[in-house]
Amino acid sequence: MRLSNELCHRARSLVADRLGLDFPEARRADLEQGLLRGLRASSLAAPEAYLAWLGALPDGSPEWGRLAGHLTVGETYFFRDRATFEALEQHVLPTLIAIRRAEGVLRLRLWSAGCATGEEPYSLAILLHRLLLDHPDWVLTILATDINPEVLETARRGRYRPWSFRETPAWIRDRYFHSRGPDTFELDAGIRRTVTFAPLNLAEDGYPAVVTNTSAMDLVLCRNVLMYFTQGAQRATVARLRRALVPGGWLVVSPAEGSADLLGPLVPATFPGAIFYRKEPAGDQGLGVGDWELGIGDPGTGVRDWGLGAGEWGSVASFPEPQLPAPNPYVSTPLPQPPPCVPQPPTPSPQALLEQARALADQGSLEQARRLCEAALARNRLDPEAHLLLAAICQELGEIPAALDALRRAIYLAPDCAPAHFLLGSLLLRQEEHKRGRRCMETVVSLLRAGPGDEPVPGYDGLTAGRLLEMARAYLDLNREGLGAGG
């Protein structure tokens, strides 16, 4: 298909606006070929009608995901780029594991952003299985996202042909895969269950957010994705991925995508044959050591300590009443002055506690965040926002029953809370409760489709009702054949 200059300009602008993809004149043929494949898959006959149809579709339509698949190269395989996985195996992951062991927090959160057919996140799962001899004791999150629902369906099935193993040692295939015919190998079910698949357009805002499980990541792999984006989409995506990392977390891009100008202020770290980018640990936020010792704040995070674990604010120790000496009638003795009144810190409001809990959750301090949520709920048990945030934190901690319980309380208190229905649906789909999970996503669509799409979701910076609606529709499309969105 050869587009006129006018149609090509319209197509280029539309694709850049909706998908963030860049097609300069030098790549005009690639744009035309991708649109032709999309046109053939539709019921339309002319490119003009196809472009008009695309323009009328909402951003979250599955058709946009399919078109992105036609316009980009989804080629991938297990342990792609040996230098990258050697750096992960020998340096980055052992360091993260050692830090968590020293903290006594056996938890890691990894994200494969742009996972295609799933070989990359499954490679991470296999790698962690090898590195963690006590892996059943760990809470491991491996999130895998892609805009294309069709590749997510393929990824979730976990069945691959020999071409996916072209750089994989034979013993790994023998150990972790089962033959399902002469040319098909199925990944071990235990490994599959460690990966959660979810639809996400990286060029859109609305992440990171705890409600979509895209925050507090220790490691993000976003390889061979940014190269397709416009400069503006590249910078916006990197900024969001940087916010998704905990202090000390790592971002991995392909060698062709890495540049100090794009990835700063992340700090590059060089390994043999690979360069990763690290988010520096949080520095001093203006609080001295003395302040932290007094329980005023944590100089490492800049987050105020609301006195949890040491009693409620305003508690005062009891002192015996001072005994005055007997008066001497011959000596004028001044009366003793009362001790100066030490002002007590103001009692924080439940909303202030929730704001601090959300900040801590974004930094990966999940246990502290949970304690603040529970403190807010102790003051107001009828706040659905606190129950919802607690559910999202419990999800990140891997405590799914507690998360489900908190979500049910949130929905009981606020039946029209679309984020609560969304999070409940995604968790149920991960638990392979497909029918109930779909009903939750259908509820989200019903609640949001008639409202303003640009209305912000309270408590989730950057996430709008329109974005949440698009993600719910994408989950429904992904699960239209009974496939769950979770591993």
One CATH from 1.10.760.10, 3.40.190.10, 3.30.450.40, 3.40.50.150 for 82-278: 3.40.50.150
Mean of pLDDT values over 46-62: 87
- Of 94-98, 219-223, 283-287, 415-419, give the lowest mean pLDDT range: 283-287
Determine the residue type at 20.
G
- Of 186-190, 308-312, 472-476, give the lowest mean pLDDT range: 308-312
At 179, is the secondary structure helix, strand, or coil?
Answer: strand
Burial 309-336 (b: 16+ CB within 10 A, else e): eeeeeeeeeeeeeeeeeeeeeeeeeeee
Instruction: Count, in order, helices (H) and strands (E) of the chain.
Output: 20, 10
Instruction: List, for residues 325-354, the tens digit of each pLDDT value.
Output: 555 555 555 555 656 666 666 678 888 999
At 146, is the secondary structure helix, strand, or coil?
Answer: strand
Among 396, 395, 217, CA closest to 407? 395
Mean of pLDDT values over 57-64: 82
Assess contact for 249 and 218: CB atoms under 8 A. yes
Q: What is the pLDDT of residue 432?
A: 85
Calpha distance 160→220 (Å, rounded): 24
pLDDT at 231 over 80: yes
Across the chain, mean pLDDT equals: 84
| Residues 6+ away with beta carbon under 8 Å from 283 | none
Q: Answer whether 0.85 is exceeded by the pTM.
A: no
Instruction: List, for residues 378-419, the tens digit of each pLDDT value.
Output: 999 999 999 999 999 998 888 999 999 999 999 999 999 999
Assess contact for 253 and 226: CB atoms under 8 A. yes
Calpha distance 316→383 (Å, rounded): 29
Third-level CATH fold of 350-478: 1.25.40
Calpha distance 134→142 (Å, rounded): 17
Give the number of other CB atoms < 10 A from CB of residue 159: 18
Q: What is the pLDDT of residue 338?
A: 59
Mean of pLDDT values over 414-443: 92
Give domain limits for the chain: 5-56, 82-278, 350-478
Residue 314 region by backbone torsions, left for phi larger than 0, else alpha for psi between -120 and 50, else beta: left
Q: What is the pLDDT of residue 461?
A: 63
Q: What is the pLDDT of residue 359?
A: 87
pLDDT at 320 over 80: no
